[in-house]
Structure 1
């Protein structure tokens, strides 16, 4: 009788809708709402909140989301700072890390467009900008922006490396194309990353070092050392001998590199705002425990979780599900017995020091073997010397740093003088005196006009008021644990680690980027939504945030992207190198 009545209610409601009458508004009691806690407001946490809210809205799921973030900000490793520590200077904030994403990063790229954020070229090259690869003693490769036509670059590359550049790019496209299958059914969503890796054949790529993977593909050893290894060093702090093949390929996948004007963190800020979640900043989660009625009950609906934050403040809401969107080993969260049923692996993370600094001086030439008085390098990326075995305890080798880039010119608000903004990546803390050693106080800038009198002040070492200036006028240093040590492996942490407990950082040892963190956030959101809906479905196809965006806007953006990209590897090698080295994926 109940089933029959329910049937007629459905029929009546459908008929009312067809006749234009508004269907009765659904009401839910408090007990039917699924309360979800997300710990962490970085790429994974923001993505999980955003996509879970989308699934809940589209599928009419009763879900309430609460986010806890231990810092006062959104974005995790997408961190910007104000040059000269002056937010009123008029200069755009600069990224400390996670500087770019690429066209293949579907979630990041489409979200930026969907939220109408402005995308920029992260480091536009000026004609004549010199980029060098340095092994600590010699320049092994160099390229000048706009310095020669693409056919000359092609001939030069062919003569030096044969087919290796083409083989490397083809390999990248094949591997990245395979990885992108994770975005759509039947591979999305996934309860086991290990299983998906095997189904896609990617364990053959993650199970060997980048060095082995490239050698098997007959990529020239010199090309690997001169071009590919600098990319893995700047992006992941690793040489090819100590990073797996998949992460190596990701380091070289740079087509269509872009960044959000003002900081990539804005993508995640918009995601959280769009999710409608309750958001607590400066809320460090200290423990997760069962509510008193939880551990003694078999029924899933009765198993509720209690969260406490720093200073022993208990959160009044009882949660049905928890998404841990931060590396477990750095969270310092304690859990009650039986909450984590699948052990979370403790994996080693890299230590990276990022330094931003400004100076009126250009980089030295003689330090890198260039002629004194010649064009100074704009960007320096490093590799190991030929015949030097990669040492995991001394990754950086003789060079002493991973990369040193000239980002742009800025105006010092204290002096109103034009200066250069630099960014350095190193495995250890860097002292200002070390930065001074890179700068050439004798180099006369011929490319940028200066206010009258400023050039002479710089050249004679005076500040105009009789004071002796420092070569470095401002610097900011930040230490990160940005990504794991990406040793070869064929098994990976699964995203479900307990009954209603989800974990996103397991993907970090597979691929560590903003995009893959966002993908795992979306993945656990889909798994959780399926659980709420009471089905084990494979989830819907990838839905682009382009939806709702005016067609003309999308077409204009796609045309711009097509103009920026190019199909031939050789047409502008210096642009590829700039994109390659600016990944900065923290």
Structure 2
């Protein structure tokens, strides 16, 4: 879900079983062929497999690719569920949209002939209202109506916030433009994310909170709190005081937002199919160790992998691997690493635990929930921010008096049981919603037993209900160092980019990056040096003066 800012206006978008081999057989070891294991079939793992095959074929490097996926599906945090348990009504539960500048995902839709929808929300009429609410009774800090001419919204923004919307758009373009250089030589590929961030002058953005960064660039406090903070909350469940400047800018880089009809996971599913990888579903990796007798100080190590299931002891996979890509957050993997396997410590990153509620109802949002006057029309989509007198806090404690981050009317759908049109809603919140909350929200009584887990009955006001917890994204606090993608010789890690930028696209970028590193090393390909290149060691030891504005920000 993303809140979208155009070039001159704000627009809005709602944003353990047995090991089974599927799609391909695990290939045995062959002389002269590199065996590569990828742990995780989310955005990073799928992208790594896809680009590994592409780069290897181009460089005439022979590779066998095996993907270990602990679930029965591909896509990771990209996940759809079916409203009414009907396959005709797929709903995005996880990552909802990507944007035109997301080159990997966008090109994937074209290469795989996937249909895309230009707008995340499919519901609505031309006079539907999208609002930003700070919890105040009977009023919104900003609202816009679907179908309104762009110049009217632009005029309202200029009248209220002056030049701040224009400055914010230009600031997004400048920062995102620097980041996009990571896709091209000589900045791509990279062995040190910290060094690249320094070379691209992005450490001065990640070193500050969004609040500090916007103030430094003369963005009005009211515009930052009303509009930009609504974007960081709906995208990362974070207030501006507890998210760094780069992720703040990413929250606003949403021009050309789209999604894949039927689910964004299809991009990654096609990547895996195209790679020709063997995919082991319901295969939980329990350990990574050096293969006995196959590693020495003068030769590249071989790795052996064990998998486990709910009904069996860990089992050693027959194949040994030249390279292993860990393509999921290490702290959630429960993988045991053998002695000496991990040369560089993997940092544990705090993740936000977000509650997502999907439900369908014949009732629209009720104006009384927002304390609007009788006869008023309630908005169809509501994003939230903090009131001026509320203290920003980190994590779930920072949700404020609204109690939720967003409520979106995703679409209308025909209930297959009643053949009547209903509204499908999505709520982001730090805690599960209560029957009292839903009753107030819809203006109709929802029984107290509905969400207590003791009954599966569907009540009349709500015809379909699907709650879910996600470790959705990391808490993006300011920082100037980031996890390297290389953990040891032949051992790679993709989730270090999460504390830099956390999106489907950037996970796929890190997968593409490690694929390029593996093939370059195998084929002996050398790359052009980045102008002014520095080593991460020099950065960490303070041998390079970081051109950042921490001291200046401290005075703001």
Q: Is the 8 A contact 1:225 1:383 kept in 2?
A: yes
Q: Deviations over 1:74-96 (max 9, x none)?
A: 00000000001233xx33x0101
Matches within 5 A, 1:331-350: 331-350=333-352
Cα displacement (A) at 1:157? 1.4
Question: Comparing both structures, which one devotes a greater share of its residues to helix?
Answer: 1
Partner residue, 1:152: 152
Aligned equivalents of 1:290, 1:155: Cα separation in 2: 64
Partner residue, 1:505: 495
Q: Is the 8 A contact 1:378 1:405 kept in 2?
A: yes
Q: Deviations over 1:510-538 (max 9, x none)?
A: 00000000000000000011111123335
TM-score under structure 1 length normalisation: 0.80
Tell me, what secondary structure is at the counterpart of 1:185?
coil
Tell me, what secondary structure is at the counterpart of 1:136?
coil
Aligned equivalents of 2:85, 2:399: Cα separation in 1: 29
Q: Deviations over 1:24-44 (max 9, x none)?
A: xxxx99221110000000000
Q: Deviations over 1:419-468 (max 9, x none)?
A: 100000001122344223200349xxxxxxxxxxxxxxxxxxxxxxxx99
Aligned equivalents of 1:116, 1:270: Cα separation in 2: 10
Q: Is the 8 A contact 1:355 1:424 kept in 2?
A: yes
Partner residue, 1:452: none
Matched, 1:470 2:460: yes
Q: Is the 8 A contact 2:68 2:280 kept in 1?
A: yes
Partner residue, 2:522: 532
Matches within 5 A, 1:540-579: none
Q: Deviations over 1:469-489 (max 9, x none)?
A: 532221101111111100000
Aligned equivalents of 2:416, 2:259: Cα separation in 1: 25
Aligned equivalents of 1:418, 1:367: Cα separation in 2: 23
Cα displacement (A) at 1:493? 0.1
Matches within 5 A, 1:424-463: 424-441=427-444
Closer/same/farther in 2, CA of residues 251 and 182 from structure 1, 3 Å limit:
same
Q: Deviations over 1:158-206 (max 9, x none)?
A: 1100000000000001101110000000100000000000000000000
Matches within 5 A, 1:215-364: 215-295=215-295, 297-301=296-300, 303-310=301-308, 311-364=313-366
RMSD, matched Cα: 1.8
Tell me, what secondary structure is at the counterpart of 2:431?
coil
Aligned residues: 482
Query: Tell me, which stretches of 5 or more residues in structure 1 are unaligned?
Result: 1-27, 443-466, 540-586
Q: Deviations over 1:238-270 (max 9, x none)?
A: 000000000000000110001000000000000
Aligned equivalents of 2:257, 2:169: Cα separation in 1: 16
TM-score under structure 2 length normalisation: 0.84
Closer/same/farther in 2, CA of residues 249 and 468 from structure 1, 3 Å limit:
closer
Q: Is the 8 A contact 1:103 1:256 kept in 2?
A: yes
Partner residue, 2:478: 488
Q: Deviations over 1:82-138 (max 9, x none)?
A: 001233xx33x0101211000010000011111100011221453001011111124
Tell me, what secondary structure is at the counterpart of 2:55?
helix
Aligned equivalents of 2:276, 2:140: Cα separation in 1: 52
Question: Comparing both structures, which one devotes a greater share of its residues to strand?
Answer: 2
